[in-house]
Structure formats: C-alpha cells, structure tokens
Amino acid sequence: MHNTIKSIGVLAFAFGANIAVAAESSLSIPVTDMHYIATGIGPIEVAPGYGDMSKGAHSNFVKIPGGFTSPPHTHTDDYYGVVVAGVIANGQEGAQDIPMPPGSYWFQKGREKHVTKCISSTECVFFVTQPGKFDFLMAK
C-alpha cells in the first residue's frame, strides 16, 4: 500500500483478542485498561474499539500529543470523529482552525486532503469510526 501505516499487521495482532470478545458478547473496557500502541505515523497511537482496522469497518481511540499537527494526508474512506480529551482541529491545510473541545464531532470526507491537529497543550484523544479499512495516504 502506498505510504500507508507501517505497522498495520502489528495493530491487527494487538487488537485481535479484544475484537473476538467484542464480536461474541458485550464488552466494557475502563480507560485505565486501554492499551495504546504506536501506528508508525509519527507519535500517533491507537487503542482498540470495534473491528479490525486492517481489514474493514472499525472504531478506535486515537491519541496525539499536545501541539502535534499531522502531515497533509487523505484516507480512502470517510470517517467520523468525536473528541474525548484535549482540543482538536481537523480541516484542509491552511484553513482557519475550528477548535473542537471534548464532546465535539466532525466528519471527514474520504479522499479529501486534510490535517488533524491537537491545538491544546495537553494530549488529545478522539474516537473515530470508519466504514472501511484504515489507510493514511500522504497528500501529493
């Protein structure tokens, strides 16, 4: 895959145990039991929610450090994000930031070039849901 996340196989392996349980029964995971792992995309880390992000529909928690701005990129599929902690801005490169504190929501159209920023000084956590497998394609 072109410039996609490098550790997708590691992510699928790491998520495997929780995904199998979630598919067969109800599941509750306290925040203290969430295990974030590196994605291979700068300092971005993810923790499992639902599904297998390397194969199809999924939801995951994403953590980025305060002050971090992703490089301009796209995703093949649309995704939906909800801010859990920190203040996020997500939009086209060069656009005015719209600060989104915890509880805020955004929709990101697939194949649209954008950047995601943690504009707070503390780390940001957001929950994403995507109908297809995850990819992170560097914008041209």
Residues 43-77 have pLDDT tens digits of 999 998 889 999 999 999 999 999 999 999 999 99
Could you give all domains of the chain from N- to C-terminal order, each with its CATH number?
8-138 (2.60.120.10)
SS3 state of residue 108: strand
pLDDT of residue 5: 38
Kindly report the average pLDDT of the chain as a whole number.
Answer: 86
SS3 state of residue 93: coil
Collect all residues with Cβ–Cβ distance below 8 Å to 51 and sequence separation of at least 6: 19, 57, 58, 59
Question: For the chain, what percent of residues have pLDDT higher than 90?
Answer: 72
Question: What phi-psi label fits residue 8: left (phi over 0), alpha (psi between -120 and 50 degrees) or beta?
Answer: alpha
Which pair of structure tokens corresponds to residue 139? 């914008």
CA 105/CA 43 separation, integer angstroms: 22
* pLDDT tens digit sequence for 82-101: 999 999 999 998 999 999 99
